[in-house]
Amino acid sequence: MNNTPQILRARLQRRPVLVAPGVIDPLTAVLAVNAGFEALYLTGAGIAYSRLGMADVGLTTMTEVTEVVARIADKVDVPLIVDGDTGFGNAITVQRTIRFFERAGAAAIQIEDQTFPKRCGHLRGKDVVPTEEMVGKIKAAVDARINDIVVIGRTDAGAVEGFERAFERAERYIEAGADVIFVEAPRTNAELAAVPTALGGKRPLMANMVEGGRTPMTPVAELEAMGYDLVVFSAGVVRAMAKTARSFYDTLMADGTSDAIRDQMYSFDELADIVGTSELLEQGRKYDSDGGGA
């Protein structure tokens, strides 16, 4: 049985603040765990960028995300927080999403109150559904869970209706059963600090750091001092990988070899060690036809 929801719940009650870096596949998940992180954030934007080569505007499907969840959960054991967009539909669709995500191994699902098609929380032109519609989705999510998956209620209302209305929505999402609250895209340090001032102590609070996004990049220690309990760096890994990949291709095109950037790459053997090649081959030998097994 997947016990990561319980692990995540307990960890959110302790300090220091929990930092969950964005991941997009089993390889980035392994790298993040090897770096020492206790939890991971499966970024919806990162899935759109890497699997579709397209913008984060609601194009990914629930089954596509579930497939990635299952592959990551098969490789690492730490809690996986999953971006569930709008729940991929209405309240009944949210319940189906909860069942799929729980079976796949998710520890938490983030559901937002944007209209469909949604867009990245740091893009302009967002709109939000009526509060009651989102309240219904959260209640549906809570009712559907079997393995006590953590439900994160996200509101994008700050950019649409103002932050006072966002806080009112957050209060309603708490009443509906949300376990964690995420007020997306504060635009200033003052707005960032206002979230814990208004909502601190009622539920664990989540902040999202996006390089070049609308929210000021703020050190984790400062976010903890403000009163945040969970900080994600959602799609930063994709931006880093994309720039590194472009450098690789530019160098290869210009030089006809990748030697100039070898120091920026893992060697063949280093990457083989990261993905466990030797262990996997050794395991396979137990079942070889030459009698290697028992």
Q: What is the pLDDT of residues 272-281, one digit of tens each?
A: 999 999 999 9
| pLDDT of 116 above 90 | no
Stated pTM of the model: 0.94
Task: Tell me which of 255 and 116 has the higher pLDDT.
Answer: 255
Phi first, then psi, for residue 123 (nearest 5°) are -95, 155
**The pair of three-digit structure tokens given for residue 147, joined into one six-digit string:** 């393995």
Helix residue ranges, H only, 145-235: 158-161, 163-176, 189-199, 220-226
Chain-centroid distance of CA 130 in Å reads 25
Per-residue model confidence as pLDDT tens digits over 213-262: 889 999 999 999 999 999 999 999 999 999 999 999 999 999 999 999 99
Residue in 149, 160, 150 with CA at minimum distance from that of residue 183: 160
Averaged pLDDT of the chain: 94
Dihedral of CA atoms 86, 92, 97, 98 in degrees, nearest 10, equals: 110
By 3-state DSSP, what share of the chain in percent is helix, strand and coil, each rounded to 5?
A: 50, 15, 35
Report how far residue 202's alpha carbon sits from residue 98's, in angstroms, rounded to the nearest whole number: 24
pLDDT more than 70, % of the chain: 96
